[in-house]
C-alpha cells in the first residue's frame, strides 16, 4: 500500500462563491477536497493537511519557502511515498519550481489545482487531485523533482508555464513538451527531466526585481533599484538577451556596486546568448557584467536568484548556478 500526503494551500480548486455571481474565495479544507473525488485511487492511502487557504496571487516568497520546508519534512518520513500540493494556478509554476530547487528528497512532489472553482458543476479539481495522487505514488516519478499534473498531463517544474488564463488545459512546456500523462488511471512517463538544480537557502531574498522590457523601454527603473537597495535584478529581455538603448550603462553601475543582474529571454522558447553588440546588445550587456539565464524563463530566473542570494551566494557561485540551471543537460 502506497502512502501519499495531500497538502492544501487554497487556490481555485479550494474556492467557492458565497453567493451567485459573487467573488470566489478559498474556503475548502483539505479533507473536503479529498471527499470530492468521484473515486479514490486504488492501493493508495491519503493523509491530508491544510497549509494556508489563499489564492496563489496572494502568496509571497516567505510563505512558499515555509511550504517547501513543510514538503521536505513530510517526505522525510519513511512511510510517505510522495506529496500532492493543491495550489492556485496563477503562481503554481513558481511554487513548483521553488520546490524543485529547495526540496532535497527524490520522492515525487506533484502540484495540481483547478481552473473551475469547487462550487462549479463542472469543476476540474476532483479528477486532477485523483490523477495527482496516482503520480505521487508512482515509482517512475522518483528523482524527477517537482512536477505539475493538470488535465491529465505531467510537466516538469523547470519548464512548465501557465499558457491560458481560463482553459482547463492551461499548462504547457514550450519547446520541450510534457513529461508524460495519466490515462485511465495509469501513469505514463515519456521523457525524463535532466535539468535539475538544488539550492540550500534558509530564506528567499525578496529584494530581486523583475523588469519586462518592451520597445523603447527606458532604463530609469534601474536607478530606482540602485537607490532602493535592491539585492538583484532580472531583465525579461529581447530575443537572445538584448535590451533597449541605455541599459548597458545603467547595468554596469549596478554590477560594479555588487548587485547581480540576470538577463533572461522573454521568448517562450530558446536560450540567451551574447551575440549582438552596439549600445545594449547581448555582447555589450555581457561586458557590463550581466549573467545570462540560458533557457530559464524570466520568472524562474528571479526565483533562482532569490534562492541563491538567500543562501548567501557570491558572484562566482551565482554565475555557476545559472550556467548549470540554464542548460538542459
292 contact partners, CB below 8 Å, separation of at least 6 = 241, 262, 263, 264, 272, 273, 274, 282, 286, 322, 326
Could you list the active site residues? Answer: 12, 89
In DSSP notation, 119-187 reads TSTT-SHHHHHHHHHHHHT-GGGTTS-EEEEETTEEEETTT-EE--SS-TT-EE-TTT--SEEEETTEE
Q: What is the dihedral of CA 288, 211, 112, 176, to 10 degrees?
A: -50
Contacts of 134 (CB under 8 A, 6+ apart): 41, 44, 182, 185, 186, 187
Torsional class of 135: left (φ above 0), alpha (ψ -120 to 50), beta (otherwise):
alpha
Amino acid at each position: 500500500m502506497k502512502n501519499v500526503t495531500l497538502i492544501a494551500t487554497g487556490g481555485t480548486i479550494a474556492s467557492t462563491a458565497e453567493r451567485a455571481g459573487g467573488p470566489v474565495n478559498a474556503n475548502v479544507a483539505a479533507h473536503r477536497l479529498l471527499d470530492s473525488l468521484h473515486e479514490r485511487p486504488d492501493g493508495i492511502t491519503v493523509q491530508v493537511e491544510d497549509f494556508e487557504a489563499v489564492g496563489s496571487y496572494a502568496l509571497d516568497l516567505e510563505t512558499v519557502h515555509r511550504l517547501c520546508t513543510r514538503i521536505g519534512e513530510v517526505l522525510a518520513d519513511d512511510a510517505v511515498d510522495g506529496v500532492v500540493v493543491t495550489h492556485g494556478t496563477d503562481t503554481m509554476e513558481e511554487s513548483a519550481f521553488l520546490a524543485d530547487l529547495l526540496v532535497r528528497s527524490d520522492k515525487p512532489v506533484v502540484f495540481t489545482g483547478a481552473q473551475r472553482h469547487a462550487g462549479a458543476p463542472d469543476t476540474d479539481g476532483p479528477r486532477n487531485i485523483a490523477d495527482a495522487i496516482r503520480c505521487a505514488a508512482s515509482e517512475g516519478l522518483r528523482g524527477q523533482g517537482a512536477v505539475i499534473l493538470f488535465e491529465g498531463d505531467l510537466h516538469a517544474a523547470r519548464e512548465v508555464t501557465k499558457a491560458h488564463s481560463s482553459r482547463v488545459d492551461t499548462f504547457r512546456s514550450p519547446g520541450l513538451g510534457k513529461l508524460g500523462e495519466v490515462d485511465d488511471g495509469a501513469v505514463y512517463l515519456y521523457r525524463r527531466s535532466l535539468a535539475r538544480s538544488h539550492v540550500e537557502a534558509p530564506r528567499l531574498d525578496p529584494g530581486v526585481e523583475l523588469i519586462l522590457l518592451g520597445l523603447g523601454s527606458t532604463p530609469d527603473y534601474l536607478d530606482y533599484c540602485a537607490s532602493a537597495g535592491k539585492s538583484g535584478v532580472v531583465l525579461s529581455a529581447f530575443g537572445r538577451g538584448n535590451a533597449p538603448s541605455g541599459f548597458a550603462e545603467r547595468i554596469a553601475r549596478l554590477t560594479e556596486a555588487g548587485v547581480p543582474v540576470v538577463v533572461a529571454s522573454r521568448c517562450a522558447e530558446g536560450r540567451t546568448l551574447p551575440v549582438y553588440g552596439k549600445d545594449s546588445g547581448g555582447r555589450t550587456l555581457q561586458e557590463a557584467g550581466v549573467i545570462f539565464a540560458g533557457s530559464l524563463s524570466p520568472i524562474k530566473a528571479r526565483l533562482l536568484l532569490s534562492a541563491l542570494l538567500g543562501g548567501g551566494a557570491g558572484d562566482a557561485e551565482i554565475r555557476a548556478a545559472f550556467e548549470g540551471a540554464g542548460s538542459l543537460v
